[in-house]
Structure 1
């Protein structure tokens, strides 16, 4: 029966003017702007989305985030201000209204939160309607197919009843059958369980899982984070942008299933420029990933001075130290003064689940945590860079700016300084490997300790990343001061060697 019901026949209503794409759904740089009395409102901001056949994708986000606008682009109900919408090779954005209506009826199935069954038609007649609209099959074939679909959703015995005579969960089953009437490649489910109790919602979700197993592609808009965590992929929309790619870049050790589970639990939040996210000494309760903008990590010292120890930007994370150590915040984190910042956060329990479920992620975070803590410890021993004694001592080189692509030191140079990156990125290069970039370090990390600890020459070439137009801002500490800091602190060479060994691999 399933082979009969779902033939996966591709229908082209464009006269053969399709676009080549390896993906079933391909949204390219979608911008949607609406005119309002207050001026233009950007509902979608250059969105890219690729979905392959057979995927079950949950689309989540707060009200007003852009979820509905995104779905309207896919269904052809609305058109992008700019960008391309390609589904099954068909450029939906380029079709006229009649072509869109025909394409939608033959290639797309839509499932609504409140079912939208026609109240004066029986259940089987509701399922036959899309076939009649698209002029598919003979009348007898339509009825036979409608019965087969009702049997698939376990509603065949209710075929001749009106929608009002069955429960909400049963109506949603029929709505799913109606969406499948014309054998569409893609199902769009808009809050399909929003008006159902949890048990019925779980039954509907299982039906969706069965359909994807049979080759259907489903995009489900939902507010139910528990259901969203069970799909193969989660697309999180915040302020008109798809943000899950930033999460995957920040947490590269997660597999697709783990990424979906974590993304379903993320909470988007926006902070105004200059706003403090948390204070040094606060209880650690959340883990953060930066989507847009910059945040400053500020270490506050007992003498009342403070130092910006790192400037973090998109796809970087913070807040892990307090959670992993079950300790108060070790620094203040605030949004940079020049622009707002968009973040996503995980609560303490979900963060713990993330680490428990992935040893590699735990190890990577623990390694970065140790490095950040070592940096903070070193800086806590260094008085303010503006202090008169340091301006005169010659033991602290001070702030240094390095232009993009410029060398900081070369392999073989004498090791004279230790560096902490405040902002930007630094590339580690091995000349013996055709100048291969073997590592990239970013703000809050340090380098230069290898040559100092070994009392000799530089083991690699370091330069400001060529692809970061802002260059790199560093704090440089002289050999004399570096040695003194180690002597004065509880840090051992092993603390620094943990990072040193990783860089030399």
Structure 2
């Protein structure tokens, strides 16, 4: 990284600028430091993908020695790092992978982009890899996943493009499908309040699963903050797949888990404090007979020694808490985090915790 950094230039973009054009010779590799870039159609009217801070583009033409595969522009002010092609060829290793496989790993799906890549096959491969990473479907066989993707393809592309500021799931609507976010970032909204944002930098994210399994209306709205690539699977396609393939057992397990969570969420502590529960508690810990001993509301800073029991789990419903060692913050906790009191852990101070 230090060797590469010596050859990197900083680019300050002040206004909308085309950085790459499809068919041009390779210029180099661009990294978005601040702002964002967009992959757009040749006419510039349709945004196909958003390139966010920390992501990069232009590497395909450099690494595979081909003309630029897509048009990329910066829509407004941005800061980029730029590694020119001549220097990139000196400091980067040669790639040991086929172009189609690289597109799949990077989840590149540019529609009117590189004609050297079969977009139909590419979409199917990206969709299957994404479904394998969704907990609900990770145990399904390749045949089952291929079957459900082929059912989707009868109606539309396996991966659907959602523009920025569009509604992926709307609060209070009936739950008829799940959405797997393959690429992009969305906000989670309750009424007019933004609860959190989620993105897919590490892995695909499944939304809408709870409503589908518990037969309840959508609890929140999911609104796209960038262009998003989404796999939509309706309940009918799921049911057909589990009947015709070998996925019935896994579907039943998911259904059973969500029904237990539904019972747990109806407990008094959830209703009273509008608990944003931790993903840790979505595991088998959530038995319907699990016990909540008691809960506290503390108004001032104090140590966790107030809770003198060891070998117990505590759930931070609302407020602030931090582990402190030698008067230094080690780890900050947020709403929904689970922690324990133990003699081998540093001291935990509580700030206005419920």
Question: Which bracket does the TM-score occupy, shorter chain normalised?
Answer: 0.3 to 0.5
Normalization by structure 2: what TM-score?
A: 0.43
Q: By percentage of residues, which structure has more helix?
A: 1
Normalization by structure 1: what TM-score?
A: 0.32
